[in-house]
Amino acid sequence: MKTSTSVKKRKKGRLSRYEAYLWLAPCLVLVTIFVFVPVIETFVLSVSEVSRAGLVKGFGGLRNFQFVLGQPVFGRVILNTVVWTIVNVGVSMVLSIITALVLNEKFHGRKLARTVLLLPWATSQMITASAWKYIFDYQYGALNALLLKLGLIKTNINFLGSANSAFICMIVVGITVTIPFMTFTLLSGLQSISTDFYEAATIDGANFWDKLFRITLPLLKPAINVTIVLNTIYVFNNFTIVFTITNGAPANQTSTMMVYLYYLAFKKGDYGASAAISVIGFVILLAFALLYMKYQMKEETAS
């Protein structure tokens, strides 16, 4: 009698130990087949000899990586990607914190303002980027027409004319589409902060800035961290904006890694090199995520 209950208990224990897998099964099956299989394929391609038509012709060792790293333009592409990601996420973060604080206040037209802010998120990036491409056009662009009408400029500005100015324009577009999701995540974080903190602080005589730096930002930190990690991944992986507006021109000087790997694969037909860049990009992102999490954990245990 006694043994049988303990066996039963153990059996039940083991079942519930593995029961989780049953719950996870649909998710894991989906992700394994549709994400990890192509991922493995990409890793295999990166160390394969791949023909012009895209067929694998055998093991190629690290030749694809050597080829990519040997391209004179690759340094610029990496630099672009880093600048693109850091400036985009950094500026968006600051603006999103301000926007979230503003939208957390009660004021006339708040509902409308929130709806408007959702627009860039609700519009497909292909459409947004096309619209901005048209706006920035040197000859018939809408922005030049507007500035001329307002008398702010005498001759048209060539926004997309040089690699640097085009890149700045694209970062502006990137920030515009990054802000909504960031702001709404932060806004959610703000709303979870109990008003008790502020009431106590007001009694203590704290002013607006004290409250901001002593209460709001520290309590918002978890939301900020999540937002930074997620958006860094999204912005780094963003392809549509640069692809639509400049497609890397001139001479890949405005390419990010995503656009460059697409160029290598589908303009030049070099799948091996393209896959090698995918792998390099993945390693960079993984390193960032690990370092960031480690740093955050250290800080948390320290405080």
Partner 1 sequence: MRKTGKQKFYLGRIFLYLFVVLGVLYILYPYFVMFVSSLKGMDEIFRIPGTIFPEKWVWTNYIDIWRDIPLAVYFKNSAIIAVGSTALCIACAIPAGYALARMQFPGKRFIMSAIVVTQMFSAVVLLVGIYKLMVTLHLQNTRTGLILLIAAFNQAFAAWLLSGTFATISKELEEAAMIDGCSRMKALIRVILPLAAPGIVTAVVFVFIHAWNEYTLTLVLIGDPMLKSLNVGIHAFFGYTNTEWWYVFAASLLATLPILCFFQILEKQLVGGLTAGGVKG
Partner 2 sequence: MGAQYSDATEAYIQSVIDDFEAEHTNVKINLEIVGWDNIGTRIRSMVGAKQAPDLYNGGSAGEFVGDDLLYKAEDVISPELKADFFQVFWNNNIDPDLDEVYQIPYVASVRALYYNKAIFEEVGIEEAPKTWKEVEEVSAKIKEHYNGDVYAWGVDATLTEGQTLLAYYGWNNGGGFVDDAGNYIVNCEENVEALEWIYDMYQKGYTNENPSIETRDDMQKLVAADKMAMLVTANFFPALYPELEVGIAEIPYNDARVSSSSSMAVQDALIFFNENAKATKDTPEKMQAIQDFLDFFYSAEYYTDFMVQEGLLPATLTGAERLAKENPEQAVYIDALEGSKFYARSKQDWQDCSTGVCEAGQKVFTGMQTPKEALDELQMTLEN
Burial of 170 from C-beta contacts in 10 A (0-12 / 13-18 / 19+): buried
Q: Give the three-state DSSP class for 57.
A: strand
Which tokens in the block code for residue 293?
């999490």
Which tokens in the block code for residue 176?
């515009």
Q: Give the three-state DSSP class for 56.
A: strand
How many amino acids of this chain bind partner 1 (CB under 8 A)? Answer: 93
Which entry of partner 1, partner 2, none binds 213, CB below 5 to 8 A by partner kind? none
d(CA 126, CA 112): 25
Length reported for the chain: 303
Which entry of partner 1, partner 2, none binds 163, CB below 5 to 8 A by partner kind? partner 2
Which entry of partner 2, partner 1, none binds 252, CB below 5 to 8 A by partner kind? partner 2
Contact predicate 275/54, CB 8 Å: no
Per-residue binding letters, 145-164, with partner 2 (x by CB under 8 A) = -------------x-xxxx-
Binding to partner 1 (CB under 8 A) within 102-131 occurs at 102, 105, 107, 109, 112-128, 130-131
**Segment interacting with partner 1, rule: CB under 8 A, options 2-10, 186-194, 246-254, 294-302:** 186-194
Binding to partner 1 (CB under 8 A) within 272-301 occurs at 275, 278, 281-282, 285-286, 289
d(CA 148, CA 157): 10
Q: Smallest distance from the beta carbon of 120 to partner 1, in angstroms?
A: 6
Binding site for partner 2 (CB under 8 A): 51-55, 138-140, 158, 160-163, 166, 246-253, 265-269, 271
